[in-house]
Amino acid sequence: MSRQTRLETLSRRWVRVKDGRVFGRGAVDAKSALCAMIAAGSALQDARMRVVVACVTREEGDGLGIQSLIKGGRKFDFAVFGEPGGNGRITVGYRGRLGATLTTRTEGGHAGSPWAHESAVDASLSILERLKKYEQEHLVADDHFRSLSLCLTMIRGGTYHNVLPSQARLTLDVRVPVGMNCAQVESEIRSIVSRQKPREDSTRFKVEFEGGTEPYEADPTSPLLRAFRRAIILTSKQRPVMVRKTGTGDMNTLASLRGIPCLTYGPGEASLSHTRHESVELSDYLKSISVITEALRQLERLSG
């Protein structure tokens, strides 16, 4: 079998069009949004403003792509990020993110006499309980976007079934709402850990942080948001919906470091991202191209 035949076979197996939908890995998150932006950008060759389509990578990792774009020094007045939401919906906000690692060390001991020794895992979970209370203190009823969340994602501890763990490591994912910032949350978590009273003098707690992406919510009066609202009304004949998501995206990074108006837009249902049913409606995809094209023309008028 030739290489071309093998590629065609894989294409038929993994990428297909059925019942007006395109199925395939990344169809929703976020190849459709990228293709829509490229198509819209190419349709504006006669525009009086410069449109740059930047294809950045590792948004769900270390953010190297957006960081490289920022370090490149190019200046932009506005930025639109491609993520699924549907052609009539505009994502105007994401929570921030802070990664935390809590390490606990104790002397350990025999599991037959847990009253005589402190388990590193138990001590860690005791701090986690305090952190969950802190989370509850920053809970806004029926509004996850404006609530702080603190989630245990990994835990490691113990070496043998009858030995009390002498070391435990908890990995926490902290999402920071608008109205708070990463420095504040980091300081408050450090304070909670420092106030923890160990059972033994030899017990040690250490908390480290990584990431630090600030929360962001678009200004409702910005020309960029007004342009997209108008574009949806003109092209789709529907009332635009403003969406605030509980995750974190590259939009936050650029907005906080450059201070320019940003929003996120793209076709597809976010709930299908990263699933074996990932697919996008062709009509949704095609309408999104019209929306982006019209939004850029509206922005040109509003900024002119």
Alpha carbon distance, N-terminus to C-terminus of the chain? 57
**Chain centroid to CA 124: how far?**
27
Helix (H, G, I), strand (E, B) or coil at 140: coil
One DSSP character per residue, 3-44 reads HHHHHHHHHHHHSEEETTEEESTTIIIIIHHHHHHHHHHHTT
Length, in residues, of the chain: 304
pLDDT at 2: 57
Q: Classify strands 167-176 and 216-217 as parallel, antiparallel or unpaired.
A: unpaired
What is the full per-residue pLDDT of the chain (304 aa) written as tens digits?
Answer: 555 555 455 445 578 888 999 999 889 988 999 999 999 988 887 778 888 889 888 877 778 888 888 888 888 999 999 999 998 999 999 999 999 999 999 999 999 999 999 999 999 999 999 999 999 999 999 999 999 999 999 999 999 999 999 999 999 999 999 999 999 999 999 999 999 988 888 899 999 999 899 999 999 999 999 999 999 999 988 899 999 999 988 999 999 888 999 999 999 998 888 888 899 999 999 999 999 999 999 998 887 6
pLDDT at 244: 96
Domains and CATH numbers, the chain: 10-94+215-303 (3.40.630.10), 96-213 (3.30.70.360)
- Number of Cβ atoms within 10 Å of the Cβ of 33: 26
Contact call for residues 93 and 145 (beta carbons, < 8 A) = yes
Token pair for 20: 């007006």
pLDDT at 43: 85
pLDDT at 1: 52
List C-alpha distances in Å: 118 to 67, 115, 121, 155.
Answer: 43, 8, 9, 17
pLDDT at 152: 98
pLDDT at 113: 92
